[in-house]
Amino acid sequence: MKLNAKTLRQMKAVTPIAMLTAYTAPVARALERAGIPVILVGDTVGMVEMGFDSTRHTTVEHMQYHVSAVRRGAPETHVIGDLPFNSYNDPQLALRSARALLDAGADSVKLEGPQLEVIAHLVASGIDVVGHTGLTPQTSKDFRQVGRSAADAQRVLAEAVGIAAAGAFMVVLEHIPASLAEQVTRTIGVPTIGIGAGGACDGQVLVINDAVGLGDYWPPFSRQYAYVGQTIVDVAQSYMKEVHDGTFVNNILRMNAAGKK
């Protein structure tokens, strides 16, 4: 049964929320089969799938394409669509961008930073919003941890409070000290979703490419459960060897024959 914003909000301090990103129908289908309750179609697609050096190159059109693919793969899973850089600079632009992602199949949208007027406008327009504070890749100059000084920690806390008060039903906390994430989680009344923010958050999110080891670089706060990148190399080399030595077609015929027995 697909979760909605209300049911996800009610999971705070009750049931940990496991969230993964997905960008394609086959991966989304696998995550739904695994029982993952929330899929984030992140603007990270620009970096991990499209080869850009920043999420700032991801567009609304890119997000529409990938949201629609994920929705087809996971029809019964709550899908969050990321609003990309420069797509929510004012409330009306944000509304158009959000509706584009909802039309593509998203159940809710996520945006970065203390865009309180934008969040309030989207919520008033009937759109469910996920906030995001701490490290905000669309505008940050680097990927260093945020909130280490007392003043910066107070800023992150104030942003989270404001984002929740503006109507967001969840808030992503990225790459902040665990003690700060715990303070934010205790303070605001909506679930916090951590990525590189310690274990006290109400849930966690992980980029699927990091989780399966598909790539050649992973952030220090990610977790790899496999190394699919090396598996692809191994498969490609085995295939190439069979083509070169002339056994490829015969091996297909032999496998097909074995499958018919």
For 26, other C-beta atoms within 10 Å of its C-beta total 10
* Nearest CA-CA partner of 186 in 161, 154, 159, 153: 161
**Where exactly are the structural domains of the chain?**
5-226, 228-261
Measured distance CA(87)–CA(46) in Å, rounded: 15
The residues that bridge with 81 in the sheet, in sequence order, are 41, 109
For 48, other C-beta atoms within 10 Å of its C-beta total 20
Alpha carbon 22 to its chain centroid, in Å, reads 7
What residues are labeled active site? Answer: 174
CATH of 5-226, picked from 3.20.20.60, 3.30.930.10, 3.40.1390.10, 3.30.1330.80, is 3.20.20.60
Predicted pLDDT of residue 261: 46
Nearest-5° Cα angle at 91, 70 to 156: 80
Predicted pLDDT of residue 260: 60
Instruction: Give me the half-sphere count of Cα atoms (radius 13 Å) on the Cβ side of residue 116.
Output: 10
Residue 47, token pair as written in the block: 């970096």
* Nearest CA-CA partner of 103 in 77, 79, 73: 79
Angle between helices 178-187 and 150-165 (to 10 degrees): 30
Characterize the bridge pairing of strands 108-110 and 203-206. Answer: unpaired
Residue 206, token pair as written in the block: 């992980």
Predicted pLDDT of residue 150: 98
Measured distance CA(69)–CA(169) in Å, rounded: 24
Instruction: Walk along the chain (261 residues) in steps of 10 and give the mean pLDDT of each run.
Output: 96 97 98 98 96 96 98 98 98 98 98 98 98 96 93 98 98 98 98 97 97 87 92 96 94 84 46
